[in-house]
Amino acid sequence: MKDKQNNKKSERGGAGVKMVAVLAVLFLVGHAGFNYVPTAYQGQGFKQDMQTAILQGMAVPPGVQPVDMVKGRLLKAIAANGLPPNVVYEVKPGKEGVTAHVAYSKAVPILPFGIYTYNYQFDHTATPTGFLLK
């Protein structure tokens, strides 16, 4: 009797294709993370800088305008964080101190070759909190 071979033509050669597909997905996820994570980190760092500027504006000595102090600190933070040129900021006195509002948008390439670009929107208002209000 002849031995039957269990080699079916449709069952050969699938490992290479699966490996290429997995590597392509890993590349796309890595590319998206490589571009998005620094932008999101930059936004969170700038939120912290805004809060610091507000707290420093509340603790100014007499004779110094808190609004001018906060505007100066925000401009330094905008330059230090490398924010895009379309930054819109507003600093105004409030009931309990100075409030600052900053908004900008930044294009983040998620997929390579310009296939998909995410528009990162930053819109934050910093108000004084903590022990300085008591």
- Separation CA 111–CA 115 (nearest Å): 6
pLDDT in tens, the chain (134 residues): 555 666 666 666 678 889 999 999 999 999 999 999 999 999 999 999 999 999 988 888 888 899 999 999 999 999 999 899 999 999 999 888 899 999 999 999 999 999 999 999 999 999 988 766 66
Task: Write down the pLDDT at residue 62.
Answer: 85
Task: Write down the pLDDT at residue 44.
Answer: 96
Task: Write down the pLDDT at residue 133.
Answer: 63
- Separation CA 88–CA 48 (nearest Å): 17
Residue ranges per structural domain of the chain? 14-133
**Burial tier of 20 (Cβ tally within 10 Å: 0-12, 13-18, 19+):** exposed
Asked if 126 and 99 count as a contact pair (C-beta separation under 8 A), the reply is yes
CA distances from 115 to 24, 28, 98, 111 (A): 15, 11, 42, 6
**DSSP H or E segment with residue 89:** strand 88-93
Task: Write down the pLDDT at residue 22.
Answer: 96
- Single-letter residue type at 132: L
